[in-house]
Amino acid sequence: MQADYKKYTLNFKRPSGTSRGVLTTKETWFLKISDDDKVGYGECGILRGLSIDDRPDYQEKLRWTCNNIDLGETVLWEELREFPSIQIGIEMAFRSLNARKPFELFPSAFTKGKASIPINGLIWMGEKEYMKAQIQEKIEAEFDCIKMKIGAIDFQTELELLKYIRGEFSSEEIELRVDANGAFKPDEALEKLRRLSEFEIHSIEQPIKQGHWKTMADLCRETPIPIALDEELIGIFNVTKKKELLLTTQAQYIILKPSLIGGFKGTQEWIDLAEENGIGWWITSALESNLGLNAISQFAYTKNNKMPQGLGTGSLYTNNIQSPLEVKNGNIHYNPARGWKFNF
């Protein structure tokens, strides 16, 4: 068995704003495993500045992984606990290697083109008019769940945008989610949550920075809006520690980004713990190319969660990989009639 990797830079169609800055490019790494005449592909979707494995020795670890591919998926996954984006790349590549079709990792009604997954329409930060244009675009595209990133522009302007949506659509017509990416200061967070609650918000992701469990627990107890932990899950590898986080904070939801939390196996650990403790969850991509988005979407479908998932990032890039993935009417579809165009 042999393995190789290569770097690929994805270019955003338009600079995309978050509370951590503006993104114009996204680096990712592709894995290829070869075994006789079989080939398997995976993506190591590292997110610089956020992934726990954003480390100087990242490429060295990729090289080590390829050199030790004969250890097999299970042993490698354990060895790579501190490199979750490589864990999922390995999971994808081995699944692809052993699949009947290399890009059909989790065969289902979804991959047959007979079922789709509801997703949220993502609104990136920017000037008010740009954000308003995005909102109108998502509504015209028949999304009934919109997620708006907040925390980088003036809070009053963000409230006005939410008021604009609610003036046009009730909470029965459009579900509104907001994502603060940890932007609120602890001493102002509760008041901001109260002001946001006027607009019947479904949930807010990561209102304060991760790592402040007691403060987050206080917020989760007092909040008028359900809180979803996102960045908070990154870097927690131990199942006991995962359980401790959920029991301490008592958050209403958790957001699962497989590339950041240990791939499919790590995601399943969080799902099991969440369901044991009555906590809701959904799965979100983390700006992977269509190769990674494809695998994550297929995995998400098999989990049978009817809530809108966060899988609408495939159209962000000018040079994404051609794939059967399509977004129509607020759903992501797999169109078997459309082929793959992926060279490695």
Answer yes or no: 257 catalytic.
Answer: yes
Q: Is the dihedral of CA 104, 105, 108, 110 positive or negative?
A: negative
Q: Which of 266, 315, 267 is nearest to 290 (CA)?
A: 315
Which residue do the tokens 């049978």 mark?
Answer: 304
Q: Which of 239, 175, 23, 248 lies closest to 229, judged by CA?
A: 248
Residue at token pair 């979804």: 110
Task: Give the active site residue among 257, 265, 303, 341.
Answer: 257
Integer Cα distance of 116 and 64 in angstroms: 38
Separation CA 235–CA 212 (nearest Å): 14
Residue type, 106: F
CA distance 7 to 61: 14
Q: What does DSSP assign to residue 285? A: -
Q: How far is CA 200 from CA 167, 192, 227, 247, in A?
A: 12, 14, 13, 26
192 annotated active-site: no
| Helix ranges (DSSP H) in the chain | 58-67, 73-79, 84-98, 128-140, 155-168, 186-196, 213-222, 239-249, 263-276, 290-302
Calpha distance 257→97 (Å, rounded): 23
Catalytic one of 26, 32, 149, 242: 149
Write out the catalytic residue numbers.
149, 257
